[in-house]
Structure 1
Amino acid sequence: MAAMLLGMASPEAKARGQAIVDALMERNVDLPDIDKPCSNDTKIYANGQLPASALCPLWQAPGHYARPDAAVAFNALSQKFARDLGRPICVTSSYRSFSQQVAVKARRGFWAATPGYSQHGFGKALDLCGGINDFGTIEHLWMKQNAPLFGWFHPSWARAGGNKPEPWHWEYAG
């Protein structure tokens, strides 16, 4: 994993990757070494326009993808969740193309971001389930405590008391 995190192209990405690696090593989290990132496509794409070459699969979440640095961090987070709670993190939504964002907005109205402005469209947001999707559960509390160690956070607007409380919505800080 360290090789994957540090293999990112930009100095900012390398610094973020090193900070994550340092935090994980300090907490004795097992970091399997991966020789190559799942994608070396480092181009910048418009929201909802990421090609498959710029996305990586999420561990134990078939059909779900995120941008490479977010996927690496999430996969390590999900593996720790599995070690601590006995199962991987459940994912209901990940990267969304622009057309998928339009469909979600039509279906969910106020509760969905305006198409083209969703962090899902950059491959940096996930909607989670399996207990994480309810405030106050052991799973949600575990995420609040552990997700920041892996570069993931629960945005203030999505927290209990936020303007759109969504316990299931988490974003990557990278």
Structure 2
Amino acid sequence: MSQEVIKVTEDLARPILEDMNLELVEVEYKHEGKNWYLRVYVDKPGGVDIEECGRVSEQLSEKLDEHDPINFPYFLEVSSPGAERPLKKPEDFLSHIGEHVYIKLYEHIDGEKEFEGDLVSFENNTATIEFKIKTKTKQIEVPYDKIAKARLAVTFN
């Protein structure tokens, strides 16, 4: 049921977001405590503001009411993915080259399952990450299909 709700929500949200020049980052449908939450994360270069999220929420809420994919009470939340936005698709990697990222893998590469560093490139479905170990700078190539989770990572200089 959750995947069906996510798919319907994505399909309903896309035309709304295209009209507003916004990107659909992710849809989550989760049970937390006694409540169900349908969360829609949107973004654009430079970030989204609360007014844009409010407009998306109003329009999407109307569409969800028309199509009624959820037949019990839930909360709809529309927001920015934040500074540590997830990288879900190859296009996300391509548009964030040069930025600091955190990547968790399904299996070890060079004895490690987690890397944090700068995304140097994304070619042939492989992300190249540059990171430091003590004073040495190293690079690692990570196949896209081995990535369990990836997101932008905030650094403090």
Using structure 2 for the length normalisation, give the TM-score.
0.30
| Higher strand fraction (1 or 2) | 2
Using structure 1 for the length normalisation, give the TM-score.
0.28
Q: Specify the structure having the higher radius of gyration (Cα).
A: 2
